[in-house]
């Protein structure tokens, strides 16, 4: 049994079976999805090598859920954009941004639920006026997109037009090593500014 507050260890065997060491029972991907929804922490380990394979297993859960009728949450444009970031210089920033964005959205979700409960009592969600949740979610989506766009503008790996004009006006004999050093310093400052923006989203 895991110690208190420690994540449960799920062992995955060669036959693809998953074993919950906390309950001493075999479980399915659907069971793991339920654990996630309940907020239960767990890690998945390869039973033979002991390697942590939590990431690919969680990705597999998302794949299974996305293939169920009526449960698609990831729109095609988002998937295309996400794929495009792989191998791009922005790849190192995307994970932190998505994580902070989801944390912010989760907080807004709880606030939204409380507002709905206050306004409509215990009425089932499917009996509430659809315009209320739709408008609220649309507004939240708009704010998230604005945050993303503002954050992306802060990371500009190439000089802007003003910087290019200034560079053209400088003497042609400027030391190349000094120029590279200045560009590197500027890039570091932009990355630091981007990190501060990401931190502020939480």
Is the pTM above the cut of 0.75?
no
8-12: strand order across its sheet: 25-27, 18-20, 8-12, 42-46
Core vs surface per residue 16-31: b (16+ CB within 10 A) or e: eebbbebeeeebebee
User: Of 45-59, 105-119, 121-135, where does mean pLDDT reach its minimum?
Assistant: 121-135
Q: Are 32 and 18 spatial neighbours (Cβ–Cβ below 8 Å)?
A: yes
The CA dihedral of 85, 87, 92, 93, to the nearest 10 degrees, is -20
Q: 44 versus 166: which is more confidently predicted?
A: 44
Strand partners, 8: 42
Name the token pair of 114: 């409380």
Smallest Cα–Cα separation from 198: which of 146, 140, 148?
148
Question: What is the model's pLDDT at position 26?
Answer: 97
Instruction: Give the gyration radius of the chain's Cα atoms.
Output: 23
61-106 confidence digits (pLDDT tens) = 999 999 987 778 899 999 999 999 999 888 888 888 888 888 887 7
152-180 confidence digits (pLDDT tens) = 555 544 444 444 445 455 455 555 556 65
Task: Work out the mean pLDDT of the chain and round it to a whole number.
Answer: 76
**Domain boundaries of the chain, sorted by first residue:** 8-66, 76-201
Question: What is the model's pLDDT at position 117?
Answer: 73
Q: How far apart are the first and last CA of the chain?
A: 33
């Amino acid at each position: 049994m895991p110690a208190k507050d420690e994540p449960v260890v799920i062992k995955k065997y060669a036959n693809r079976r998953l074993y919950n060491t906390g309950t001493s029972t075999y479980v399915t991907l659907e069971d793991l999805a339920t654990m996630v929804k309940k907020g239960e922490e767990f890690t998945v380990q390869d039973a033979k090598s002991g390697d942590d394979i939590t990431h690919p297993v969680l990705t597999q859960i998302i794949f299974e859920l996305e293939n169920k009728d009526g449960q698609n949450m990831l729109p095609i444009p988002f998937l295309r954009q996400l794929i495009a970031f792989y191998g791009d210089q922005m790849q190192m920033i995307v994970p932190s941004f998505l994580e902070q964005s989801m944390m912010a959205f989760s907080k807004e979700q709880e606030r939204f639920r409380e507002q709905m409960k206050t306004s409509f009592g215990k009425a089932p969600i499917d009996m509430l006026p659809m315009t209320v949740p739709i408008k609220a979610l649309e507004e939240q989506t708009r704010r998230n997109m604005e945050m993303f766009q503002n954050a992306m503008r802060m990371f500009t790996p190439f000089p802007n037009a003003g910087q290019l004009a200034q560079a053209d006006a400088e003497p042609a004999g400027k030391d190349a090593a000094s120029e590279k050093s200045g560009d590197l310093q500027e890039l570091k400052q932009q990355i630091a500014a981007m990190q501060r923006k990401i931190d502020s989203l939480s």
